[in-house]
Structure formats: C-alpha cells, structure tokens
C-alpha cells in the first residue's frame, strides 16, 4: 500500500509552494517552525547509535539538511537521501553537491540494505488512510536496515492533529513497532510536540 497519486500531488504542491515562498536555506520551506526545531529532531535521531563509518539512508531527505548535520558529527559515512518531491531533491543537489540524492517513493525502493535507515518528518503530512499507509512504510524502512531504523512523529499530547498534520499516540506506535522488533525504543524527552522511535535488529 502506498500514498495515492492524488495525495502525492498534494505533497508535491505543498512543498513546492513552501520552497518558492521561503527558499532553500529556510527550514520553513519544509514546514519546520524553526531551524532549532529541525536540529532538535536531528539530534534525537543521533541517539540511535554510532554512525561513524556506517551506510545511511535518509528517507524524506527534503533539502538534505540531515546530511550536513551528519557531517558535523561524523568523519566517515556513506549517505543516500531520497524524497518523493523531485523539486526538493533538485535543490538538495545544489545545496550539498557532494551528497547523493534521488527522487524515490520509499514503497518502490529496491530491496537493498543500509546499516541505518533514518527519517525525520515523513509521517507528519496527513494523507488518506495515513495510519495504514505509514505503518506499511515503517515496515518497509525497517526491512531496509541492517542495524536499526529511527524515525520521528508528532505527539498528540503536544501537537494538533488536523487535516494537514497527523499526530499520534506514542504508546500505540511503540506497541506496533514492538510487533516488528522487541528491541523497539521510545524517546520522548526532547520535545513536547514530538517523539522518536528506534527499531533495532
């Protein structure tokens, strides 16, 4: 199961509009409220383990800013960023020419493994049947990792859930993730609006 063509168009239109309005150096182009909000989430994802020398797939890479964050924290790693929105990938390549980016729907991504698969913000956009679709996406990204997968979600306790934003009950998400990996771990001490899940093999 994947995001419908209609919702894919909504996603592309939404982010292309934000990109046009804010430009490639403003986190609001990706609907982050601020650079600090973006970096807090990136920092939480680093808690997954030592990424030095590892291969990393960044799902929903947007403008590639997580690549730059990784560069500030690690000397060596192999990186691929993928995103559903071709225009974001095009700009990410301009912004970070040494990194590798591709436009790809994660549900159509070839079955190739990475040490770590990480995703920031990809489950926040409300689409039809979003829980069912996003649960399938979690299964997919976990299957692509050798060591672990990490992702974040908006927390219903601190963030609005409406026609645009999908927010979740962290306990319910953790229960689902533990059906995939008994080593799934919840991190919810870094933001009242957000939580992170790690699924270890």
| Model pTM score | 0.93
Domain count within the chain = 1
122: how many CB neighbours lie within 10 A of its CB? Answer: 22
139: CATH: 3.40.50.150
Query: What's the domain range around 181?
Result: 5-200
Q: Which two tokens stand for residue 103?
A: 């436009």
Q: State the Cα–Cα distance between residues 201 and 142, nearest whole angstrom.
A: 9
Q: What digits encode the pLDDT tens for the residues 35-81?
A: 777 899 999 999 999 999 999 999 999 999 999 999 999 999 999 99
């Amino acid at each position: 199961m994947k995001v419908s063509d209609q919702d894919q168009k909504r996603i592309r239109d939404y982010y292309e509009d934000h990109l046009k309005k804010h430009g490639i150096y403003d986190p609001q182009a990706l609907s982050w409220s601020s650079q600090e909000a973006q970096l807090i989430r990136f920092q939480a994802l680093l808690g997954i383990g030592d990424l030095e020398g590892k291969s990393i797939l960044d799902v929903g890479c947007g403008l590639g800013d997580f690549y730059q964050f990784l560069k500030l924290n690690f000397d060596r790693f192999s990186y691929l960023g993928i995103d559903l929105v071709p225009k974001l990938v095009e700009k990410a390549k301009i912004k970070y020419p040494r990194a590798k980016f591709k436009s790809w729907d994660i549900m159509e991504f070839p079955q190739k493994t990475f040490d770590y698969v990480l995703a920031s913000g990809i489950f926040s956009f409300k689409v039809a049947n979003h829980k069912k679709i996003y649960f399938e996406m979690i299964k997919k990204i976990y299957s692509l990792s050798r060591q672990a997968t990490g992702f974040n979600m908006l927390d219903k306790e601190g963030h609005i859930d409406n026609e645009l934003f999908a927010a979740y009950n962290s306990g319910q998400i953790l229960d689902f993730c533990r059906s995939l990996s008994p080593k799934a771990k919840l991190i919810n001490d870094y933001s009242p609006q957000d939580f992170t899940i790690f699924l270890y093999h």
